[in-house]
Amino acid sequence: MGKKIGILGAGKLGTVLGQLALKAGYEVYIGGSGNPSKIALTVEVLLPGAKVLTAKEVAKKTNLIILALPLGKYKSLSIEELSNKVIIDAMNYWWEVDGENPELTDVSSSSSVLVQNYLKNSKVVKAFNHMGYHDLYDEAKEKGHEGRKAIAVVGDASEAVAQVAQVVDDFGFDPLVYGSLSQGIRMEPGSPVFGANLKYHDLKRALASFETTKRGVAAIKAGNQAMK
Amino acid sequence: MINTKKMIFGLDSFGDIPTDDEGNVYTQAHAIRQVIREAKLADDLGIDVIALGEHHREEYAISSPDMVLAAIATITKKIKLATGVTVLSSDDPVRVYERFATLEAISNGRAEAVLGRGSFTESFPLFGYDLQDYDLLFEEKLNLYSKLLEEKPVTWEGKTRASLKDANVFPKTENGNIATRIAVGGSPESVVRTARYGFPLTLAIIGGSPERFKPYIELYKRAADKFENPAFPIAVHSHGMIADTDEEAIELAWNHIRKSFVKIGNDRGWAPMSREQFESEVQNGSFYVGSPETVAKRLARMIKTLGIGRFELVYGAGGLSASAREHMIELYATKVIPRVRELLSEA
């Protein structure tokens, strides 16, 4: 049995992650918002070999699903369809598409915790959010390559985290497991790792330095659990 | 195949604020006059296009690019007068038509509207639009604009502006058409939409390897085919810095292009661009930085790889001196462009 992965969202990030998945030999199932025919041509050209399905069908095909839709739309996801799935949350707050939304930038929690609270029967793991999509494409390298970059992975369910760490490795990056899902605050926009493109040890140092940043200080003040 | 004679070269500016040689910062008004002066220089040197972007923030003096282009029109002869971009989502399509039809008249047919969703958001609250409607606004307004381009009375209905019934809009152009392109930043949906409306496509490639965009060009062609529209030659817009030597250009790019990326990126929560990231953009990415020979070689390689028909160099990033900007335009026109044509014809 080959490896399978689902992707919800066929925008810039979803298509790049799809390309990495195909390169790594995964069977890829991708769903956009609404009718699959809307993204059929995009997928045919940018992700040859990936299958376009509805979000519901994607969830039926695989237990491992990447969320690459605009974060502000997370409540359009079906709690039921995604029950018991391992969910890779690659989403970030992005005002271009999400508008002003204080809930999504709240320093007392993290956006992935919001997603987990909403998808209450799923195992949410945060990964692939902190590197720009063109860097994800350019920087993917085989295991052991001297210049290989790292991707942070955080989540509460250890088996799910291990599974996602394997995906990160397959896609061309060193996985850096960094604790519970609430630690995702360290990977969000405004943190030292966001868009930084680092190797394993540098990424680890940058994650640890979050407390010393403006946003880190604000998170401590707001009583963010991850800072305790 | 690339027709090297037909390959079009342009300059893009957002109206960054220059300094004089002593480092004194220009006023925004002076920055606008500097762009007009540079456009005249570009026209004198035979550059094909000047494209001015619309922004509504402190770093950039140009919020009304078509007004600046109108001024340029009166003192230039051949250069095409484009925007880069006009933020259609927060503008009114009727007004956009009217302004460009006017520019078309003033310039004797040299106007080009380059429309986009914009990568900044300041214009939305400024003009009373909700960012949540980002997609809908662009889709509807492009729909109305494309109808207006036919220059016949328009009947239109939508959610984002008042309906029109048999509205006749003036002035009419002498050629019966305003040249129009759509600029996109890498959203596949935007590429498909451009092909669906039958417009030429500009790719804003501001980071990473340009090769990554090859499939997007294929997507544009395939989508045009599907919608039975022509697939026009693609334009690419990227940042660059040309100086007499590589060392000088790299230093200027680090101090100015990188600086403006860090400033803008900071607003978006990005960590500052590292030396490694910068070097990678300069060597294999999307910053065209160096002596004329270095920049020409990199441009020729990118143009060949992607098979595009037009390149626009974003010049003069944040705080570069006016004299360095003008020198860059001279080097681009007199050394880089002829050398790129030569390299392309060798292939």
Scanning every residue of chain B, which has its alpha carbon at the shortest distance from the alpha carbon of A147? B276
Of A182, A181, A127, the residue nearest A152 (C-alpha): A127
Structure tokens at A15: 């298509």
CB contact (8 A) between residue A11 and residue B132: no
CB contact (8 A) between residue A42 and residue B132: no
CB contact (8 A) between residue A196 and residue B268: no
pLDDT of the residue at A96: 67
Q: Give residue-wise pLDDT tens across range B105-130.
A: 999 999 999 999 877 888 998 999 98
**Chain A residues within an 8 Å CB radius of B186:** 12, 133-134
User: Is CATH 3.40.47.10 what the domain over A4-227 is classified as, yes or no?
Assistant: no
Neighbouring C-beta atoms of residue B247, cutoff 10 Å: 11
CB contact (8 A) between residue A15 and residue B188: yes
Task: Let me know: does B131 contact B121? Beta carbons within 8 Å.
Answer: yes
CA distance B329 to chain A (A): 29
pLDDT of the residue at A144: 95
Q: Give residue-wise pLDDT tens across range A70-91.
A: 999 999 999 999 999 999 999 9
pLDDT of the residue at A33: 82
User: What is the signed CA dihedral for B312, B104, B193, B87, rounded to 10 degrees?
Assistant: 70
Of B308, B345, B320, B319, the residue nearest B8 (C-alpha): B308
Q: Which of A19, A73, A95, A141 should we substitute to test contact with B (largest number of B Cβ atoms within 10 Å)?
A: A95
Q: Give residue-wise pLDDT tens across range A173-190.
A: 999 999 999 999 999 999
Domain boundaries along the sequence of chain A: 4-227
Task: Give the domains, in start order, of chain B with CATH numbers.
Answer: 8-346 (3.20.20.30)
The span from the CA of B89 to the CA of B304, in Å, is 33
Q: Please name the member of B131, B223, B277 whose beta carbon is closest to the beta carbon of A197.
A: B277
Task: Let me know: does A130 contact A187? Beta carbons within 8 Å.
Answer: yes
Q: Please name the member of B132, B134, B187 whose beta carbon is closest to the beta carbon of A11.
A: B187
Q: How many beta-carbon contacts under 8 Å exist across A and B?
A: 87
| B269 contacts chain A (CB < 8 A) | yes
Quickly state the pLDDT bin for A1 (edges 50, 70, 90): low
Q: Please name the member of A12, A193, A197 whose beta carbon is closest to the beta carbon of B186.
A: A12
Structure tokens at A127: 């990964």
Q: Please name the member of A42, A46, A194 whose beta carbon is closest to the beta carbon of B270.
A: A194
Q: Which residues of chain B have pLDDT under 50?
A: none
| B189 contacts chain A (CB < 8 A) | yes
Scanning every residue of chain B, which has its alpha carbon at the shortest distance from the alpha carbon of A210? B271
CB contact (8 A) between residue A132 and residue B131: no
CB contact (8 A) between residue A45 and residue B218: yes
CA distance A84 to chain B (A): 31
CA distance A194 to chain B (A): 5
| B222 contacts chain A (CB < 8 A) | yes
Task: Let me know: does B62 contact B32? Beta carbons within 8 Å.
Answer: yes
Is residue A98 predicted with pLDDT exceeding 80?
no
CB contact (8 A) between residue B208 and residue A95: no
Q: Give residue-wise pLDDT tens across range A200-224.
A: 999 999 999 999 999 999 999 999 9
Structure tokens at B239: 């940042």
